[in-house]
Structure 1
């Protein structure tokens, strides 16, 4: 027989019944961490990338608690992530001059899913900001994280010899060059 004390096996997250948007952000960033961790398990033969993804998984959990608790994402983390962006952007600059279909190796596909989760996290953070003050740095970090995950997906495909597939939208006209 269970004791009268609250049994934690029946509680997956203590804030689940909150009315505000903060819990939605926290659940979304939990999903983001899970997806980055999943990608880390798929980057075979790339130990540096795996280590980076594990660091990003931890950072996603730091982001998760940075609104309700102490702000763990600070300028140093943003600067570090910005350096990661610069490093990987240089490696795939030629491939990312156009919109690409989110496809490729299992690891790259997992990174594209994680990128999408990061974008959803930005949106959830926006909804929180309508209810309480959210530091701009957290928005910058989350946007940048989505972009880094995209670059990592393209890098993983490149390392695996997977060709990127350009996507040309039929919904939005291409921008005309100013010289035209």
Structure 2
């Protein structure tokens, strides 16, 4: 079969051959959007959370295009995300006093995977920033998004009666307090 040169069915992403870090960032944030969308499919028992995740999926795509195209993430978007963070922290305060393993329900695990994708997106954005100027609002948004996805995971586990399992690092032990040295 002879292929036409411009047949778009043979091109999944038009910038794939570019060497700029922007390409890796866009691919990474596409994966972030997919993971948030997948998490939204699992949280039908939590309609408000589902709506929040649908909105965050859309925002992940706005983040995606904000480096190559026009900046589509605003300070207002960041404020809305911050309020969402505060809302879920308010629901999970007791569970957030320690570092926990990324375990629990399927819903929470899916949110932890999305959180990890957000962190990878921050790293990819850092690589972009070494090549070109990147608005701080993008860094702030993705960092906060990772934290929102984390508290959402803890929230889901709490709602389902699944206890968080604390993680105590052997690599980074807590410094002893001065009162313990006396």
Normalising by the smaller structure, the TM-score range is over 0.9
Q: Are 1:81 and 2:91 an aligned pair? A: no
After superposition, where does 1:60-139 map in structure 2 within 5 Å? Answer: 60-139=60-139
| The structure with more helix, counted as a fraction of residues | 2
How many angstroms does 1:178 deviate by?
4.6
Query: 1: CA distance between counterparts of 2:17 and 2:158?
Result: 44
How many angstroms does 1:174 deviate by?
1.1
Q: Would you say how many aligned residue pairs link Structure 1 and Structure 2?
A: 180
After superposition, where does 1:9-88 map in structure 2 within 5 Å? Answer: 9-88=9-88
How many angstroms does 1:2 deviate by?
6.0
Scaled by the length of structure 2, the TM-score of the pair is: 0.95
Unaligned runs of 5+ in 2: none
How many angstroms does 1:3 deviate by?
6.9
Scaled by the length of structure 1, the TM-score of the pair is: 0.96
Query: 1: CA distance between counterparts of 2:119 and 2:23?
Result: 17
Query: 2: CA distance between counterparts of 1:95 and 1:40?
Result: 22
Query: 2: CA distance between counterparts of 1:34 and 1:178?
Result: 47
SS of the residue corresponding to residue 16 of structure 1 reads coil
| Partner deviation per Cα, 1:46-98 (whole Å, 9 max, x = no partner) | 11111110000000000000010010001010000000011111111110111
After superposition, where does 1:136-147 map in structure 2 within 5 Å? Answer: 136-147=136-147
